[in-house]
Structure 1
Amino acid sequence: MPLLDNEVLRTFVAISECGTFTGAAQLVHRTPSALSMQIKRLEQRLGKSLFIREPRQVRLTPDGEVLLDYSRRLLRLNQEAVQHFIAPTLEGKVGLGTSDDVGTRILPEVLAQFARSYPAVLVDVVVGSSKQNLARLDAGELDMVLVTVADEARDVRGEVVHREPLVWAGREGASAFQRTPLPIAVAHEGCVWRRMTLRALDRAGTAYRIAYTCEHCSGQEAAMVADLAVAPFPLSLVRPPLKQIVSDELPEIGCYQLALVRQGSNSLNDALAAHVRGAFRNLQ
């Protein structure tokens, strides 16, 4: 069985994410021709074509998509193994604020990986709205927070680590989206998803009523499952029994962003921030 070289896998991931050999070459500090040779040898070793080569970009083949998932996991495991033995020992506590959708979707895996790399560090997670968590951060109660930001927002505070479309969601086979006025489930005032959704409905001239309000995604999901309302949801959160609702009567909401805002830089914060960034890169 041939062994996969981590440097080659790192090159493969870079090309996949950049979409060009030239862009990837700048990331890994090698020439495009050297990268091309690496990929050619990798394809020969595996007996599979990994990229569809087009004039100005490359796209992954189905086999390439499979290898991309394996590559990211292998590189992540390699990083964890190296950190376990040679990374400086870290001790202490880090306070992290997040919304409940990120807390239930992303953080469990992030915290598990972080604990394996830094078992002496305690991560104190606080779930709340972006506004609440930013106030806690400014008060010195938290070290970093993940906050929701509208896609068109300017002068975003912090570092954008994720971008995703908001889509209309409802229960499979339900009829709430066909009612007039449109019943919607949203969070309370101040929520970016709520503001983006209401603005989209107002611009389209769509009659609506707020049928259900809850700060937590689980509450909005309950309203959809009961067919009381439809709701704006991140595409990655739409899972059975929910489905994305596509209708000419429903306006496009747009994309939202997640920004990582930090109180300062130190070894603990830097280590956790790196794990958070990596988790969102793996979603793409």
Structure 2
Amino acid sequence: MRLFGLLGYPVGHSASPAMMNAAFQADGEAAVYVPFAVDPEHIREAFTGLAALGAVGVNVTVPHKVAAFDWTDVHTPEAQRIGAVNTIRFSTEGAIGHNTDVSGWWRSIEQQVTGTSPSFAVIGAGGAAMAILAAIATHRKDSVVRVIARREAAVAQLQERFEASLSIEYRPWEKRHEVVSESDVIVQTTPIGMWPNTADSPIEDPSVFQKGMVVQDIVYRPRETRFAKVAKAGGAKVVDGAGMLVYQGVDAYEWWLDHAAPVDVMFQAVNAHLQQEQLDHE
């Protein structure tokens, strides 16, 4: 039985174990995917212990992605580009750090993004925003990208990281309605609206949105956030955040096992997990 897992703090809410174990079963893989809640003080020992146990690979979620980058011996170009690791493969040559958040986000939205240089508004300037900017730099590098954040310093760090590949403009939080109304693709990357604070949204006015816009909230708990409902009421095309979760898992699965993942099975498992979670909260 080959061991895979997820390291985070906390991890009890994650749909990844249900998704990955369903994929292993569908493919007839003798493997198990286990969630590990690891305090940040002990994350390096956890990585070392899993390597010693013969684990094949793990996913890494908040708050450990930078620590995973620092711990791993070798980095793929995707991980190197954003300085964070969300997927590790243990090998005889050492631990290899990869990042599937970049490709996972792009695969979740690419069918909706038309044109070679649409204008993007990214709400938030944290780690998720960094992965999204890396994807835009790869696939739509000539686009106008405005990052809406409370702290200009956080956006300045993003501008410095991507200065050679993407033009990023800072916009203050107070201007978010104006910036969103002028954008083609809007991606909400903050935790605003996540359970249990489901009544919250960074935008409350549906008139900010209009037909032709593509709007995504990468929060997927709840499946339809307040932000998504407001955007839909304004006529925008709304893409939920579950697709990013699934596709980053698909890419990790294929990177570990070197064969195609059962994508439909993984979507079904995530849908079932989130539906049950919603029932549990009602």
Q: Which structure has the larger Rg?
A: 1
Q: Same fold (TM over 0.5)?
A: no
TM-score (structure 2 length as normaliser):
0.28
TM-score (structure 1 length as normaliser):
0.27
Pick 1 or 2: higher relative contact order, CA cutoff 8 A, min separation 6.
1
